Amino acid sequence: MYMRRYIIIAITIALGVVTYTTPLFLKKERNGAEEDRLKVENRDLLARIDRMQIAYEEVKKERDELIVRGKIFSQYPFNTKNRITVSVGESEGVRLAQIATVGEGILLGYVREVAPHTSVVETVFDPSLQLPVRIGIHEVDGMLQGGAEPKVVLIEKTKAIQVGDAIYGVANNMPYGLKIGEIGTIQDKTGNVFNEATIRFSYSINELREVGIKVR
Amino acid sequence: MKKLLWLAVGVGVLALAQAYGVSIQGIKPNLALVGIAVASLIIQRVEERIMIVLGAVTLLKFSPTVGSDLFALTVVGVMIAVGVRIMPWYGMVNMMVITSVGTVVMYLLTAPRLLVERVGIEEVIMNTAIGMVVFVIAERLWQNTNT
């Protein structure tokens, strides 16, 4: 009986030590399907066309950008954050605050942790993420508010936006015009000076297998 | 021993499902917390309950470092494992109290702002409902089984 108790205590201590004092974690890489890959590629190409229409001069700088691609290992398991672990890290040139993308033209989030061969990306679905954005060809200002259902807030009611308008990031720490998604539904809240809008994403984060990180 | 092994496997499956991003209507239920609560109500020995907690935490570790949520799960899980025997009600009520209060405490420790938003409220309800279902199944399976 005592032996069993000692074994249980030893296993418990070993689990605690491995979890809290070592960088080891279970890499839960998902298998990718060809169809998923093609879907993402198609949406990425459409996003890049959108970006070219919005900011031609800025897009020309893409020639100098270098993107490393990484597989998605794990997804944050709680609702309070939305982060993913990817298979590229410091050794591949990844640094803190670099931009993560779906394909090359769709913004996914920012690098928040870097280890030698892995890194953690905070996605636009993270409740703490806020980002200035513009909407459509009239470049209406708004603010992306991350979360389980991200939305664009602070859209002036006097500015005309439509369902399907492209939403793109305009923060000064990212390439101008990276597409985020499209306007889903516009919520006109009576009494408010600003409108809100839901976002239609061209990908499902649960289906993503690979991300790009702009390392230059 | 057989009961402990099966419970460990059950909690492991729930924790892995959570780690792989299982979500219902965009909400990720805290399946590991549910598993820990059910196992704690069934397992007699405190050291075995704590082992189950750390096993679930290990499976949920998603990056090289331990985040605040995982630390909160460890704290809440150990509190459940240690305190479960002093709970005064019968099994199902205990289960509901553990999962709902456990979820609320986790949010208070990590992101209290989200507790009053849709995501927090729905997770509390979802965890409690899933907990009740899993508890009924586990109780039926093990009501006649000894350690």
| AA letter at B129 | A
Helix extents (H) in chain B: 2-19, 31-42, 46-60, 68-83, 91-110, 118-142
Q: What is the 3-state secondary structure (H, E, C) of A41-53?
A: HHHHHHHHHHHHH
- How far does B98 lie from chain A, in Å, by closest CA? 18
Whether B134 shows a pLDDT value over 90: the answer reads yes
pLDDT digits 0-9 by tens, A37-84: 677 777 777 777 776 666 655 555 555 568 899 988 888 888 888 889
Tell me if the pTM is above 0.90.
no
Question: Which residues have a Cβ under 8 Å from the Cβ of A122 and sit 6 or more positions away?
Answer: A81, A82, A83, A109, A110, A111, A112, A128, A129
Strand-pair partners of A103: none
Whether A35 shows a pLDDT value over 80: the answer reads no
Interface of B with A in 15-54 (CB under 8 A): 16, 18-21, 23, 26-28, 30, 32, 45, 47-48, 50-51, 54
- A208 → chain B, closest CA residue: B21
Helix (H, G, I), strand (E, B) or coil at A75: strand
Query: In this structure, what are the phi and psi dihedrals at residue B20, rounded to the nearest 5 degrees?
Result: -85, 5
Q: Are A90 and A113 in contact (CB under 8 A)?
A: no
Whether B65 shows a pLDDT value over 90: the answer reads no
Q: Which helix (H) or strand (E) element contains residue A21?
A: helix A2-21
Question: B20 contacts in A (CB within 8 Å)?
Answer: 28, 30, 75
Query: In this structure, what are the phi and psi dihedrals at residue A83, rounded to the nearest 5 degrees?
Result: -130, 160
- How far does A163 lie from chain B, in Å, by closest CA? 22
Query: In this structure, what are the phi and psi dihedrals at residue A126, rounded to the nearest 5 degrees?
Result: -80, 130
CA nearest A170: which of A142, A148, A209, A150?
A142
pLDDT digits 0-9 by tens, A118-152: 999 999 988 888 999 999 888 889 999 988 888 99
pLDDT digits 0-9 by tens, B9-29: 999 999 999 988 888 887 889
